[in-house]
Structures are given as structure tokens and as C-alpha cells.
Amino acid sequence: MIGGGNDNTVLRFSFTNKQQFSDASSQLQEASSHVSVVHLKSRGFLSACIRVSKLMGELAQCPLLQVLEIDMPNESVHTHALVAVLQASKKTLVTLTLRANVLRAKRGGTASKRLVVQGLRNLVALENFSWNNGSVDGCFSEIIGAVANCPKLKSVTLTQDLWGETFDELALNPTLEALTCSGCVINWTGRLGTYDITLDRFCQTLQTSRLKSLKICPPPTNNDHENVDLTPLANYLHHTKHLEHLSLAIHKTQVKTLANGLKHNQSLKRLEIRGSGLVDEIVASFSYVMPNNMWLEEFKYNGCDYDADPAIPFYITLNRAGRKYLVENYDARDDWVKVLIQYHVNTPLVFHLLQTNTSLLKGMGLDHHHNKGQTIQSIGTRKSTVCEDVRNKHHNKGQTIPSLVPVRAPCVRMVETNTTTKHSEGF
């Protein structure tokens, strides 16, 4: 049955039989003057191409249409129907999601496809474009080229193979912030026709882009990426100032290279990696990288927060608490205290902050060593019961776990004498 909800701006339809299209058409006619969001959804094979196309004709009469989502993976839409909607909404359409065979030409063949491409190119307000289509009749590159020229484009999601110049056109759009290639086959090791699709070429394009989010999700059966050297990607991560979210599938032989790229990265906040049997490699590589990385605030492995090693979530939390700001504002006592209060239940983090900035102990009755001229070497770190229990657990399994306190001068170590006090700053 139809599930239609009308609040004067939004219409949602879920089709399970052909008769429901007539009811939806009537609702669209009644709400055409003020509807701005339309969702069309169906499952199964209804063979309702003509009815879907007629419904698209009704959409072409909606002057305020801003969001159109067609989630009908088993249906087809005639090109003339899609063109009508694109032409009518060229100044208003902000989000366009197409999960249907929308390029089935009724008449005109190549000419009708060109009209679709031209219609997409004229969407001056388009910000979000999602294409999930298994049958594009050979004009995928033209469609992506048209969308890539939209002046306000921010996000693109694709499920088609993305090659060479097609990717270049998208990535070089100065307004594009997010690119998701879900299910795409990107064979870094070869060529397709005249398109150079090596990882090195891919990363050269990324260097000149302003992407903030990049998701690359090869299908499970694609193992071509196993033997690819990720050094070009690591170099890109080392220099990029824009990318904040990276999601990709990798092989265990590539973990160390990826981790090295994050050692001095100064932009990435979210990292999602997928693969099998990566736990040991992640422990070995990222545990020694995270003490130097002050930006990464979320790390997921196969869709879950990574917690197999205590050091990694410790530094993730520390970064989320504002480690970079605290390092740059060592004397901002009030801000340090706010962080201590906010994370007071996190004992290792509190100890770490107090050891890093021992001036916070003044006035708490914990700075009595200063008057006695004694040496303060550490405060509640390696002898923390919580940390030691976790560390011993991994040690018994033969794993090497780094200290929660990083090796390279991570904390303030105060050496007090009768006359002077010295400290080193950092995390």
C-alpha cells in the first residue's frame, strides 16, 4: 500500500502494486504548488515504466522541488520524463538521488541521452548527487562530466566504475567536498583504454582538489588492491590540508604505509578502514603513530570503533578533548580545568593531563614536593592500575603494547631543585 505523508512540503511514496501510482499522481497534483521534497520507493519487479514516467511528469509541475529521491532499482524511467523534471527544477533542485534505470530511451536514442546530460549540466542549485544505476547505456562519463560542472556541487555518491579523466573532472570541482565511490572497481595497477588509472595519478589529482571526505569501497571480490604500494596515498595524507574523512579497504601489507602517512597529517579527523586480519598490523603501526597525531578523532575498523589496543583509543579521546589546542595554549589554565572536569571519569587521560601540565596541581595540595626540593618524575601514569591491567593482558598474549604515555616527550616531566624548576611541554 501507499505510505504517503504530506506536511505541505514533503511527499513519500512506497509502491507495492501498480494501482498505487494513480493515487500518488493525484496527491502530487494536489500538492504541486508547494511540495519541495519527494521520495519514490519500490521493491520487486512492478514493470511500471510507463506509470513511473507519468509520475515524473507530475513532478515537472512542482516549481519548488528541492529534493528528489527515486529509489526504484528494478524500474526504468524514460529519458524524456527525467529531462522534463530536470528542466523544470534547474534553479531549485538541491539534492538528486537516482536509483533506477533512468536512461532507457523511449525515442531518439543518443539524442535523448544528450538531453539528459544537458539537463544535469543546467542544475545551477545542485549540491548533492547520488547515482546508483546498473544500466547507463554507455554515457556514464558524460553524465559525470555534466554533474562535475554544477557550480554549487558539494557531495557525489557513485556505484559505477570510476576511471581516469572521469575522476579528474569531479575531484577538480572547486566546490566538491565529499566523494563516495561505493562498490566501485578502481584497479590501481592497470589501464582502461587511454585512461591512466594508477594510484600515483589518482593522488596527483587529489593534491589539487579540495575534498574533505573520500570514501573508496571496492567490492569484496576485488583483490587487485592487495599488491599496490600505498606510498603515493601516504604522501598525499602527509601534505593535504583539506581531507577530514577517509574511508577505504586495504590489505594487511598496506597498513604500515597508511599509518606512516598519518604520522604528520594535520587535517584528517575520521579514518575508516576495512579488511580481514588487520588487528596485529594496526597495533604494530598505529600505536606508534598516534602519539604524534593530534587531529584524528575517530578510528573505525570494519565499521566499529577500534579498541583492540589501549593506546589508540586513548589518543583518539585525547585528540577529541582538544589536545592540539591545549598544547598551543599551555597557560590557559581555565581551559585545561574544563577538560579535566569533562573527562574526570577517564583516569588515564586525567593523569596524563596532570603530568603534562603540573601547574594545574598548584593549590590542590599536591605540589608539596616543590617546597621540599624533591624531584617529580611522573604522576599517575605507568603505575596506574587501569593501564597496567590492560597492558598485562596483552603482554601475556605475546603482543608488544606501547606505553599510554608516548615515547617522544609526551608529558611534562618536572625536575625540581632548591632554586629552579624545569619543564618540557608536549603530549
Dihedrals φ, ψ of 406, to 5°? -60, 160
Domains and CATH numbers, the chain: 10-274 (3.80.10.10), 344-422 (no CATH)
C-alpha to C-alpha distance for 138 and 126, rounded to whole angstroms: 23
Nearest residue to 179 via CA among 274, 231, 248:
248
- Are 156 and 170 contacting, i.e. CB atoms less than 8 angstroms apart? yes
Place of cell 494536489: 30
pLDDT for position 140? 73
147 three-state secondary structure: helix
Q: Decide the pairing of beta strands 37-42 and 10-15.
A: parallel
Q: Is 231 exposed, middle or buried (0-12, 13-18, 19+ CB in 10 A)?
A: middle
C-alpha to C-alpha distance for 199 and 224, rounded to whole angstroms: 12
Q: Decide the pairing of beta strands 213-217 and 195-196.
A: unpaired
C-alpha to C-alpha distance for 284 and 280, rounded to whole angstroms: 6
* The three three-digit cell numbers of residue 230, written as one number: 600505498
pLDDT for position 56? 87
pLDDT for position 133? 61
C-alpha to C-alpha distance for 18 and 273, rounded to whole angstroms: 42
C-alpha to C-alpha distance for 285 and 298, rounded to whole angstroms: 17
pLDDT for position 188? 52
Ordered per-residue pLDDT tens for the chain, 427 residues: 344 444 558 999 998 888 888 888 888 988 888 999 999 998 777 777 788 888 888 999 999 999 999 988 888 778 888 889 999 999 999 999 988 776 555 454 556 778 888 899 999 999 999 987 654 555 777 888 899 999 999 999 887 655 556 677 888 889 999 988 875 545 555 444 444 456 777 788 888 889 999 988 765 444 555 667 788 889 999 999 999 999 988 888 889 999 999 988 999 999 999 888 889 999 999 988 999 999 999 999 998 988 888 889 999 999 999 999 999 999 999 999 999 999 999 999 999 999 999 888 876 555 544 444 443 333 333 333 334 444 444 444 444 433 333 433 333 333 333 333 334 444 6
C-alpha distances in angstroms, 126 versus 93, 141, 171, 275? 6, 18, 16, 34
Sheet holding 298-301, edge to edge: 10-15, 37-42, 67-78, 95-104, 128-131, 155-158, 178-182, 213-217, 245-249, 270-274, 298-301, 304-305
Tell me the whole-structure pTM to 2 decimals: 0.77
* The three three-digit cell numbers of residue 175, written as one number: 566546490
